[in-house]
A and B are shown apart, each in its own frame.
Chain A
């Protein structure tokens, strides 16, 4: 019995769920944080798919999580869009973090419907490499539509949503619940990620930023 099981495993007729680091042709962009890269599938924010960042708190560093990605993308000449942001992005801060403001697009829709439409257009057309959106209330079918739009445009789509939607099923490739329980580090709880089991909360320090020169290496697909 055992011999035949080994034979089956050897001839790779069974896929094992415990195999992490499943590599495929899909690329991703490095998040800039070493520990986060280790936990994310393909070592980075997934391209052509949605990422949800769920949080109940404001001002804990939820946007700083994405800053290395924004800085890297805009420096390489790719566009980044903010759709329906709750406040005004403070230009001197962004510039100080290394974001090239000539590749930043801010969209201020008046209504929720317009916000969803604008997010879908930006994701689908693929001219922005990264789209960050604050969609408000999202029905299941809209989540599906946004996911399809991200696939079509091969865009990194990030949805920032309140934490109460953690239990809502979602087709996003990665779902993070971000919170802060003490002064220094951010606590990242990966609720869902492709090709792996969810990960319990782990601390992420802003000092864990990867060296600047390593950014452009990591962006060339799944290290």
Chain B
């Protein structure tokens, strides 16, 4: 199968703009020191812009025309991304420049539910990515390529017998011939393949070279055609250059959706997921800011990352206006699709990881954790923060210990010669001496008491032996 994207330059340009359907757009290229219109979208053509028109004339006719020079590297990158997208349908995908993909789909029909279903899926996904493709199915790769370039919409040639018949009327401009040769053939009255085949072979080879004849043979399937499939890269890097800088963090979501969709196709093609996304926001002066999105388990779906990203963006403050948004994924891991329950009462069943990811995306990683027990008799060292789900499994004796501990011991005030905390304190139980050894850092020499006030609130206070001061350390909740 061959997919031909005739509007690729315009599609690459409109990828960066918001609301591109309502603006007249054009791509400009340089020909013989003059800037001429190379491609224009439907709206621009309605307003009178024509192909090969001079740029100055086009701008006069259509004042609010937006144009940009042809960006060959962006087009190549777009074609590569489309190739990654196509890799989910087949393991053999090749890029044929300009603007074409060759995909070996014969083995994929059964998996994707038949030819019609496959084509429908492809068309709808391409629509979502913002591309229009001309599709052709043929038993020979080169023939499919030529057919896709010549027909709009979809064309299918079922077997080799019909192949030469269908190819006869194809204009020679769809083949890979340079403009000079084309002009000479046209001068001779040769416009399509049928007329070319009617010419004697030796004369053709002598005048126009063996290449043209070899190409014709490959198209007819009489000469073997070697096509190199692409290999998926180990890392995914994609970026979008915006034409108008963004100042609100929520507007990044629109751009990010496209990038995340491409990432999903790439991950699908590799049958993997990823746990870490690295984002880079750059402004026109080259200033960059980075952030990461992490998941507890490898994830693939675009909507999952979009959800996490929206939570993160809610509390992100943009330091500068954003010109380029870049997404990098450096490591991929094996991905297991989560199976749904057959008889689930709830529409969606979540996992603990989903909750942790969401909370961490918005509140930051350090805001979500748990505590565990450590083997130390000093109260402030007898516990530590750790990751949710970890536990040291230590258990201490059920001594008289409070449920709440203060992060830092709080000095107690005196009021009329008595210790005061929401009321004069009375020592109920104690003292319990806790001392640290000379080998430990952070020496502790304290006498702990349980104290209560007239409101019957119970606190854990201590008398520091060194400074002779009283402190509050815990609350018996």
Contact = CB atoms under 8 A, between A and B. Distances in A.
Given A57-B455, A102-B390, A92 B383 contact: yes
Interface string A62-90: 11100100000000000100000111111
Given A87-B406, A106-B368, A101 B373 contact: yes
A57 B456 contact: yes
A97 B398 CA distance: 8
A90 B474 contact: yes
B362 interface: yes
A61 B476 contact: yes
Interface string B278-305: 0000000000000000000000000000
A23 interface: no
Contacts of A122: 355, 359
Contact of A118 (B359, B396, B398, B456): B359
A194 to B, nearest CB: 22
A157 interface: no
Nearest to A66: B477
Interface string B448-472: 0000100111110000000000000
A88 B405 contact: yes
A109 B477 contact: no
Nearest to A126: B350
B386 to A, nearest CB: 9
Given A57-B457, A88-B406, A105-B388, A121 B358 contact: yes
Interface string A97-135: 100111111111110001001100110011110000000
B352 A64 contact: no
Contacts of B459: 59
A213 interface: no
B370 A127 contact: no
B367 A107 contact: yes
A88 B367 contact: no
Contacts of A13: none
Interface in B371-385: 371-374, 379, 382-384
B455 to A, nearest CB: 6
A59 B477 contact: yes
Contacts of B363: 107-110, 114, 118
Interface in A163-180: 180
Interface in B313-357: 315, 346, 350-352, 354-356
Contact of A95 (B373, B476, B477): B373
B373 A114 contact: no
Contact of A114 (B352, B362, B379): B362
A102 B391 CA distance: 5
A218 interface: no
Contact of A59 (B370, B384, B476): B476
B366 to A, nearest CB: 8
Contacts of A103: 389
Given A89-B404, A118-B363, A182-B456, A100 B475 contact: no
Query: Most A CB atoms within 10 A — which of B355, B388, B402?
Result: B355
Contacts of A85: 404
Given A96-B396, A101-B372, A88 B404 contact: yes
A101 B390 CA distance: 8
B30 interface: no
Nearest to B370: A104
B397 interface: yes
Contacts of A181: 456
With most chain A CB atoms within 10 A of its CB, the pick from B367, B371, B374 is B371
A117 B362 contact: yes
Nearest to B349: A126
A143 B418 CA distance: 42
Contacts of A60: 456-458, 477
Contacts of B405: 87-90
Q: Which of B369, B404, B407 has the most CB of A within 10 A?
A: B404
Contacts of A93: 401-403
B351 A110 contact: no
A152 to B, nearest CB: 8
Nearest to A79: B352
Given A91-B373, A101-B371, A101-B391, A58 B406 contact: no
A201 interface: no
Interface string A48-64: 00000000011111111
17 contacts: A57-B457, A60-B457, A87-B404, A87-B406, A88-B405, A88-B406, A90-B474, A92-B383, A95-B373, A103-B389, A106-B371, A107-B359, A114-B315, A114-B362, A125-B354, A126-B346, A182-B456
- Closest 7 pairs between A and B when the two form their complex, measured CB to CB: A102-B391, A63-B477, A87-B404, A91-B383, A180-B456, A59-B457, A91-B371
Interface of A: 57-64, 67, 79, 85-97, 100-110, 114, 117-118, 121-122, 125-128, 152, 180-183
Interface of B: 315, 346, 350-352, 354-356, 358-359, 362-363, 366-374, 379, 382-384, 388-391, 394-399, 401-407, 422, 452, 455-459, 474-477
